[in-house]
């Protein structure tokens, strides 16, 4: 079942990624803003989500779904799709080749299949629960263990200025303790980078289910651990790192001030 859901997600994400690529080539404009002036949505986000919803429901009419651009449908089959039609919308707007279509499938609330397709480069990440993760069909594995000071960490910043101040202060405290920090602009792809060994960890407060549902499964199926903890800015903090170095990464993130202070 999880393999079937993954294969359907990949087929649909591939088509949506082609649409997104065509829209980028045709030129992009901001259609609206959402949570703040810098949280943009383009017509391509909406068109991609519409296409994904239509394709999934044509094949599986009884499924539920939730999407970043507003799709919200109760299903009766026990399967719910979690859709980010363009993760990395700001990169899409500027033409930085780090934006992706992300589709996950949950059964009874658990993610069992996930795909992330980089619309600019066409690289495809896919995973099914218990069946491993792949990049363009080739199995993925996280990086081998490294001491904290040799780890490359990915992070991201939300669209709310107050949350950003908290994130920036914690990032500044983590930076001297690790090899370096990158902010690439797509949570879904960041998680896939942990999965493929292109980074040693990822931390960000305030991401949404559609940002991380598919990439989280790709990462865990490749040997990472994935956890949500209460954040210093009042939103959940997403942590993802290879299982072998996870506890040390969590401790460093906590020391840096990403997490909410524990109550007595
Ligand atoms: C954003 C990206 C970004 C992350 C933000 C997300 P969007 O998603 O994943 O990397 O830092 O928190 O909101 O808006 O491009 O779909």
Q: What is the pLDDT of residues 67-84, one digit of tens each?
A: 999 999 999 999 999 999
List pLDDT tens digits, range 166-225.
Answer: 999 999 999 999 999 999 999 999 999 999 999 999 999 999 999 999 999 999 999 999
pLDDT, average across residues 150-155 = 98
Q: Helices (DSSP H) in 41-141: which residue ranges? A: 43-59, 89-94
The CA 88 to ligand 1 mean position distance, Å, reads 5
Q: Which domains does the chain have, with CATH numbers?
A: 2-139 (3.30.540.10), 148-256 (3.40.190.80)
Q: Residue 15's pLDDT is what?
A: 98
| pTM of the full structure | 0.95
Distance in angstroms (rounded) separating the CA atoms of residues 32 and 104: 25
* Long-range pairs for 35-39: beta carbons < 8 A, 24 or more residues apart: 35/159, 35/160, 36/159, 36/160, 36/161, 38/90, 38/159, 39/159
Q: Whose CA is nearest to atom 2 of ligand 1?
A: 186
Q: Residue 27's pLDDT is what?
A: 85
The CA 264 to ligand 1 mean position distance, Å, reads 33
Name which residue leads in pLDDT, 31 or 238.
238
Closest to 12 (Cα-Cα) out of 214, 191, 190: 214
What is the position in ligand 1's atom list of the atom closest to the CA of 86? Answer: 16
Distance in angstroms (rounded) separating the CA atoms of residues 122 and 109: 29
Q: How many residues does the chain have?
A: 264
pLDDT at 28 over 90: no
Mean pLDDT is lowest, of 17-21, 66-70, 259-263, for 259-263
């Amino acid at each position: 079942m999880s393999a079937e859901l993954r294969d359907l997600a990949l087929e649909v994400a591939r088509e949506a990624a082609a649409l997104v690529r065509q829209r980028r080539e045709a030129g992009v404009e901001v259609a609206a803003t959402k949570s703040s002036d810098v949280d943009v949505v383009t017509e391509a986000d909406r068109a991609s989500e519409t296409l994904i919803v239509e394709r999934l429901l044509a094949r599986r009419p009884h499924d539920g779904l939730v999407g970043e651009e507003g799709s919200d449908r109760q299903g009766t089959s026990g399967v719910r799709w979690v859709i980010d039609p363009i993760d990395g919308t700001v990169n899409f707007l500027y033409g930085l080749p780090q934006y992706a279509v992300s589709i996950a499938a949950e059964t009874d609330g658990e993610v069992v299949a996930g795909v992330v397709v980089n619309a600019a480069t066409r690289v495809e990440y896919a995973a099914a629960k218990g069946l491993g993760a792949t990049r363009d069909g080739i199995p993925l594995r996280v990086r081998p263990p490294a001491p904290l000071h040799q780890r490359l960490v990915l992070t991201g910043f939300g669209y709310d200025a107050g949350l950003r101040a908290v994130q920036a202060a914690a990032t500044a405290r983590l930076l001297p303790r690790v090899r370096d920090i990158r902010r690439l602009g797509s949570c879904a792809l960041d998680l896939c980078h942990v999965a493929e060994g292109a980074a040693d960890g990822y931390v960000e407060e305030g991401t949404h289910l559609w940002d991380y549902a598919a990439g989280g499964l790709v990462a865990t199926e490749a040997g990472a651990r994935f956890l949500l903890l209460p954040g210093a800015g009042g939103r959940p903090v997403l942590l993802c790192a290879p299982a072998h170095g996870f506890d040390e990464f969590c401790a460093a993130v906590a020391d840096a001030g990403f997490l909410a202070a524990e109550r007595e």
